[in-house]
Structure 1
Amino acid sequence: MIDIDQSTGKYLYAIIRCSEIRVIAARGIHEDGPRVYTIPYRDVAAVVSDSPCEEYESSRRNMLAHTRVLEAVMQQYTVLPISFGMVAPDTATICDQMLARSYDDLVSQLNDLDGRIELGLKVFWTDEQFFREIADEEPAIRELRDSIVGKPAERTYYERIRLGEMVEAAIAQRRDADSERILSTLRPLAQALITQPILTDRMVVNAAFLLKREDEARFDAAVRDLDAQFGTRMLFKCVGPVPPYNFVNLTMSWS
């Protein structure tokens, strides 16, 4: 029998399909690395650790502790991850106001994610020379650039602004073409795809894929093939499996 203090605050990590109290082989968030365990309601459960009812700083240490618990849970269960920093006041609140209230929705989301994993993919252009090549390939850009070479900056102010806009548009057009070439290859291998914002000038793709666990090897092989096709011009970074944050919609309310 696991002895649990029902009245303390509970830091929340995830929802899983589980009908009993179980200890998870991980250390929880907070400085003393508390025990991680489940709080069940019918056949679903919240994964928690005891915690003061306080706001957690988004430090590297805290974020890693949160992620490591999720990674441990993922080894055995389908996971609905809960965003970092959620603390419920006690066990009754979790059972009554979260698990019971949202039971049907939680079961539906667990069913949707059974046997699925999330993989992240980021792709980057690798060389500054690539941007110059784009400019050289566009006659209008090349003509405008050559026309202002050697002229004082104050006399060509607007031409330089126009040149920057044209180069930016050409880069965006090339990014769209390269991105679609990559995503059109990988999209059929996934159950769902979400594109994220482009974060740097060199980034071409920033995406999350939900796929069947048994399709992971095929997906990895497809990414390696694309890497070989683009050669040294691009860098592919694939991350995962990770908790399916991008494909889960959990809302929390203690009122």
Structure 2
Amino acid sequence: MTDTNAQPAAETGLFIYGIVPSDVEPTADAAGVGDPPGEVAAIRQGELAALVSEVGLEQPMGRPADLTAYQTLLDGTAAVAPVLPVRFGTVVTGPDAVKDLLEAHQDQFVAALEEFEDRLQYTVHGRYHEQELIAQVLTDNPDAGELARQVRGQPEEVTREQRIRLGEMISQAVELRREAENQQLIDALSPLSVANAPRPPSHELDAVHVAFLVGTDDEEQFVKAVEDFAEQRRDLIRMRLLGPLAPYDFVSAHQLAAE
């Protein structure tokens, strides 16, 4: 007898995290995206493997927990083996589609993995202390300083044009300072890194935001150089160093999303 109340089986696909050498195995406790988290497996083809987990095709993706799981898996993998992150949210229909992807790009992916052998990403992010920054801008720019004196203590509706102009001058000064700080950071760290990728500011007070690809032999010196750079600017910029990470900012030419 047919059960007319039975629900149709949920359609599933495979979420792809990254491409790794074929001998890489996910750890037993590796957790994927989804609720509950999917079990991570490796699908192999030739010299390559893809780290994947099963997800429901109707399941919403993009929760903070999903992004955290994606990054945790890739960063943990990068600590022990080269990995090519695949764009977050890439889902294919099943194992055959994964194997087809690996087969079609075998030479390209193998070469890329060789390029990232013993290399990790570190991201340097710094944000200005707002009051200290404004004080410096007003000191360095007499016109801005004069405008600030004109509007100080005056009603906003009376000094609207001056306030707008002052805001524009401060914004332009911050942009110029940001360009200079980013370049100084790149100059300071280039001898200890393989490549760099400046990132767009994520906030109007961002001072520096640059990703660096660093050889494992240079990690200790690189971190020390970042600390020295931050110490020299600690009164003006709050710095933080993120890493080691998978090389997210350096694999765009190798990333593929599902068609």
Q: Mark yes or no: TM-score above 0.5.
A: yes
User: How far off its partner does 1:127 sit?
Assistant: 4.3
What CA distance in whole angstroms lies between the structure 2 residues aligned with 1:119 and 1:158?
A: 43
**8 A contact 1:24–1:72 mirrored in 2:** no
Q: Tell whether the 8 Å contact from 1:24 to 1:37 is kept in structure 2 after alignment.
A: no
Matching residue of 2:5: none
Whether the 8 Å CA contact 1:53–1:89 is kept in 2: the answer is no
> What is the 5 A alignment of 1:140-151?
140-147=143-150
Asked if 1:71 corresponds to 2:75, the answer is yes
| Deviation of 1:237 (Å) | 0.4
Q: Structure 2: how far apart are the matches of 1:58 and 1:64?
A: 10
Give the unaligned 5+ runs of structure 2: 1-10
Deviation of 1:85 (Å): 1.9
2:94 maps to what in 1?
Answer: 90
- C-alpha contact 2:182 2:209 (8 A) present in aligned 1: no
Structure 1 pair 28–171 and aligned structure 2 pair: CA distance change class (3 A): closer
Q: 2:122 aligns with which of 93, 103, 119?
A: 119
Q: 1:247 aligns with which of 225, 240, 250?
A: 250
Instruction: Indicate how the Cα distance of structure 1 residues 129 and 72 shifts in structure 2: closer, same or farther if over 3 A, else same.
Output: closer
Residue in 1 that maps onto 2:41 = 37
CA, structure 1 residues 155+67, in 2 after alignment: closer, same or farther (shift >3 Å)? closer
Matched, 1:198 2:201: yes
Question: Counterpart amino acid of 2:80?
Answer: Q
Displacement, 1:253?
4.0
Quick check: 1:14 aligned with 2:25? no
Q: 2:184 is matched with which residue?
A: 181
Summarize deviations over 1:87-110 as a string: whole Å, max 9, x none: 2111111112x0111111111211
**Kindly, what percent of the aligned residue pairs are identical?**
28
* Residue number in structure 2 paired with 1:62: 66
Distance 2:132 2:116 in 1: 43
Q: Please give the TM-score of this superposition, normalised by the length of structure 2.
A: 0.84
Q: Is the contact between residue 87 and residue 257 of structure 2 (CA under 8 Å) also seen in structure 1?
A: no
Quote the RMSD (CA, aligned, Å). Answer: 2.4
CA spacing shift, 1:152–1:101, aligned 2, 3 Å: same
1:40 is aligned with what amino acid? R
Aligned-residue offset at 1:150: 6.5
In structure 2, the partner of 1:223 is 226
Does the residue aligned with 1:34 lie in a helix, a strand or coil? coil
Q: Counterpart in 1 of 2:6?
A: none
Structure 1 residue 27: Cα displacement: 2.1
With over 3 angstroms needed to count, the CA separation of the structure-2 counterparts of 1:252 and 1:199, relative to structure 1, is: closer
**Does the 8 A contact of 1:81 with 1:244 survive in 2?**
yes
Q: Which runs of 5+ in 1 are unaligned?
A: 1-6
User: What is residue 139 of structure 1 aligned with on the other side?
Assistant: 142
User: How far 1:136 sits from its partner (Å)?
Assistant: 2.5
CA distance in structure 2 between the partners assigned to 1:155 and 1:34 by the alignment:
60
The separation in 1 between residues aligned to 2:72 and 2:132, in whole angstroms, is 40
Shift of 1:145: 3.8
Aligned to 1:46: 50
The alpha carbon displacement at 1:23 in A equals 4.6
CA contact (8 A) 1:123 1:203 kept: yes
Q: Encode CA deviations 1:208-245: one digit per residue, 9 max, x unaligned.
A: 11111111111101011112212332211000111111
Q: 1:176 to 1:32 in 2, by over 3 A?
A: closer
User: Aligned partners of 1:68, 1:105: CA distance in 2, in Å?
Assistant: 25
